[in-house]
Amino acid sequence: MVRTEISLFMKNEPGELGKLANFLGSEGINIDAITIQDASSYVQELFKGRGKSLKRIASAASYNSMRKDSAEFALVRLLPADGMTNKAIDLLSAHDYLFDIMAVIALELDNKPGELAKVASKFGEEGININYVYGSVSSPEEKCLFVFCPEDIELAAKIFKK
């Protein structure tokens, strides 16, 4: 249920994902879920949020420079297999990756219409905002794995206890 996600910035160049996957795979670390996005879109979303609700803390030129520089990187969020998080952290540290860890809610859902709606509605009914979510499906017969990053992890953990 509550799992540890690793977020890192990786160079947005050919072969970098293969290098990361090789590091992890060579140590027997399976990845249960992963999402990757161009970091510039991530930074742009931050700028949109700042423009609407937060005071500016840097000049427009600084923001434009950050946006341009961030296109060179990808934001990777990955969920190592159970019991492999510490090993993954040690390996990333040894290879000089800059990363952060975050508690998330990982749920296996039935692969049928409406299952995601039930879970998302439960978050909403409890007043918990979802910062982001990603998921995967391997076949119609198997369960889906969805990873939710809620604003209130403690409340979400209580609600979704098995």
DSSP structure string for 86-153:
HHHHHHHHHTT--EEEEEEEEEEE-SSTTHHHHHHHHHHHTTPPEEEEEEE-S-TTSPEEEEEEES-H
pLDDT tens for the 162 residues of the chain, in order: 999 999 998 888 899 999 999 999 999 999 999 999 877 665 656 555 555 444 444 555 555 555 555 667 888 999 999 999 999 999 999 988 888 999 999 999 999 899 999 999 999 999 999 999 999 887 888 899 999 999 999 999 999 885
Return all residues near 4 (Cβ < 8 A) that are at least 6 apart: 79, 80, 85, 101, 102, 103, 104
DSSP state of 65: H
| pTM given for the model | 0.78
Domain ranges for the chain: 2-159
The fold of 2-159 is VC0802-like (3.30.2130)
**Burial classification of residue 78, based on how many CB atoms lie within 10 Å of its CB (0-12 exposed, 13-18 middle, 19 or more buried):** buried
